[in-house]
Structure 1
Amino acid sequence: MTQDITSELVTLRDYWRYAISRFNAADLSYGHGTTTAGDDAAFLLLDSLDLPIDALDPFLDARLLPAERKLLAERIEARVTTRKPSSYLTGRAYIQGVRFHVDERVIVPRSHIGEILFSEYLGENGSAFLPDPMTVESAVDICTGSGCLAVLAAKFFPHAAVDAVDLSADALAVAAKNVAAHEVENQVSLHEGDLFAPLAGRTYDLIITNPPYVDHDALVAYPPEFRAEPAMAHDGGEDGLDLVRRILEEAADYLNPQGGMICEIGSGREILEEEYPHLDFVWLETAESQDAVFWISAEALGVE
């Protein structure tokens, strides 16, 4: 099949149309930075050709070289037959246009926190809750995975030393690649361990965390694209909030008095507010959610 289509399909437009048809026929699932067959196909093709992933139109009628046709045909076929997310096939993912290396040792980065950091610190829609980036001297990314949020923290907080923690040595190997690629080795330190365990005695101006928060019922219903990712990076326990609770219970010990924490929790707002009625959660709006991420100050957590 691959050889047949490479002789018939010539332009990027040809391959985009073909990929959409294949993806729709195979009833693929999305959610790793794209939400439709058309967007997923565009990402797979453009990233495979090392073209800007947000600029399909200028290249649609470009004729492709034989080697490029072969590569695209193979990756379209792999997307359909393996059901792996497109980012695993290209080896790259993006947060607000910033490129990160990914592979099957980490989940494909797609945190709402990345959007919040960009809107806050690029002046698009500041929340008035997060700290002045020039005053942050220390930050930690708990459950760092690919290291993307730790790298962004280093970029947005130029004076901050950033620690990044994960339980998975495999994930930290990927994070190390991203730290090196973005040349923030002098700011970011990687630590293997369970949540705050490797950080005894340290305190921070800012805690950033996007922990596993998927409940068990949702895990059971996962499509193949999500099952291709490391299970431990999704599993948040029976109701999805096991790690969030632990983080809330421990965070005060690791925060400076004027600091705070930004945490992504998925759909657990109602449960969290019922269990912690005494805590002042500030829910931060993103393009796709109004209550997937909260900010809580050190003061609200009892830090004096």
Structure 2
Amino acid sequence: MEHVEIDEAVEQLHTILDVVRWSVSRFNEAGLFFGHGTDNAWDEAVSLVLQCLYLPQEVSDQLFQARLTTEEKQHILSLVNRRIHERIPVAYLTQQAWFCDLPFYVDERVLVPRSPLAELIQAKFDGFLNNEPQHILDLCTGSACIAIACAYAFPEAQVDAVDISLDALEVASINIEEHDLLERVFPINSDVYSALNEQKYDLIVTNPPYVDAEDIADMPEEFHIEPEIGLAAGEDGLDIVHTILQQAPQHLNKGAWIIVEVGNSLVHVQQQYPDLDLKWIEFKNGGDGVFAVQKETLEAYFGSE
């Protein structure tokens, strides 16, 4: 958008609804891709505008008729302009995202939270836990959104938030401190399990890099803004998943489960592990490509040490 067009919009738009409608039209005109917390232009525009105004994501219809100051309109439309021309996801523009109804700081050092694992966490992993877990591992933690959400779900649990990326762990540490969980959620720099020694867990949850080479090549521009280390995992997307599964039994307590998200690479998992008894999870709120498998099942498949 030209500066003249933005200046004209700032002058002629007045209410929150005016700015949202104008932004939706510009997003549709630009052919943006939505996949970082929203799936359509309206929700994307509403999220951006309300965040810029420091308002909750759910507001009354009456508030949409509130008039904006010139400074507010200029700020919002400058970010709309960046969203269109730089293809930057809204979460990076506002440095905020939501997961399990909790706010998280995010920037380009981590993926934007959007995992269907949120539904499992909010259900307290119903069907996979006989007792409240005391020690949980979040592998490939990124922003630590999964680790922190697990800490809220299980107030007595300690959660280890592991990532190979020091950049990601800096973001994780910001979120751990902002959620006042320094005593229960611990960021750990580790290549999968390498720095965990003999530590065992009552539950392991992981959303590792799992995008295969073909999908990486075909991704919309918005996804290329995210760190590739958090997405790409070799030709079939399973480079890290293989290690996670093979070594998991060493870090699971008796009867414990590991929950793994593999997204579109589920087809590769099914092809490469046809005889492994994986429990594929169905989600009420959408999403797929997540399976659960128990310690003893993995030991029988890979052989125990």
- Of 89, 92, 97, which aligns to 1:93? 97
- Of 140, 143, 148, which aligns to 1:146? 143
Matched, 1:158 2:162: no
Matched residue type, 1:244 = V
Partner of 2:259: 262
Partner of 1:211: 208
Matched residue type, 2:30 = A
Deviations 1:241-295 (A, max 9, x none): 1111111111111000121111100023332233223322111112223x41111
Q: 2:161 is paired with a residue of what secondary structure? A: strand
Q: Distance in 1 between matches of 2:42 and 2:60?
A: 11
Partner of 2:167: 170
Q: 1:199 is paired with a residue of what secondary structure? A: coil
RMSD: 1.6
Residue identity over aligned pairs, in percent, reads 39
Deviation at 1:128, TM superposition (A): 4.1
Q: 1:10 is paired with a residue of what secondary structure? A: coil
Q: Distance in 2 between matches of 1:166 and 1:77?
A: 33
Q: 2:48 is paired with a residue of what secondary structure? A: helix
- Of 196, 212, 229, which aligns to 1:199? 196
Partner of 2:107: 103
Deviation at 1:54, TM superposition (A): 2.9
State TM-score, norm by structure 1: 0.93
Matched residue type, 2:228 = A
Matched residue type, 1:95 = F
Q: 1:267 is paired with a residue of what secondary structure? A: helix
Partner of 2:295: 298
Partner of 1:59: 63
Q: Distance in 2 between matches of 1:128 and 1:170?
A: 33
Matched, 1:10 2:19: no
Matched residue type, 2:93 = L
Contact 2:211 2:265 in 1 (8 A): no
Deviation at 1:59, TM superposition (A): 2.1
Q: 1:225 is paired with a residue of what secondary structure? A: helix
Deviations 1:103-156 (A, max 9, x none): 0111101111112211x13xxxxx642215x62010111000001001011111
Contact 1:257 1:299 in 2 (8 A): yes
Matched, 1:24 2:42: no
Contact 1:164 1:191 in 2 (8 A): yes
Q: 1:300 is paired with a residue of what secondary structure? A: helix
Q: Distance in 2 between matches of 1:50 and 1:84?
A: 20
Which runs of no fewer than 5 residues in structure 2 stay unpaired? none
Contact 2:100 2:149 in 1 (8 A): no
Report the count of equivalent residues.
296
Alpha carbons of structure 1 residues 215 and 15: separation in structure 2 relative to 1, 3 Å: same
Deviates more, 1:24-33 or 1:275-284: 275-284
Contact 1:28 1:80 in 2 (8 A): yes
Contact 1:42 1:56 in 2 (8 A): no
Alpha carbons of structure 1 residues 58 and 298: separation in structure 2 relative to 1, 3 Å: farther
Q: Distance in 1 between matches of 2:61 and 2:218?
A: 36
Which runs of no fewer than 5 residues in structure 1 stay unpaired? 122-126
Q: 1:190 is paired with a residue of what secondary structure? A: strand
Contact 1:23 1:37 in 2 (8 A): yes
Q: Distance in 1 between matches of 2:240 and 2:127?
A: 24
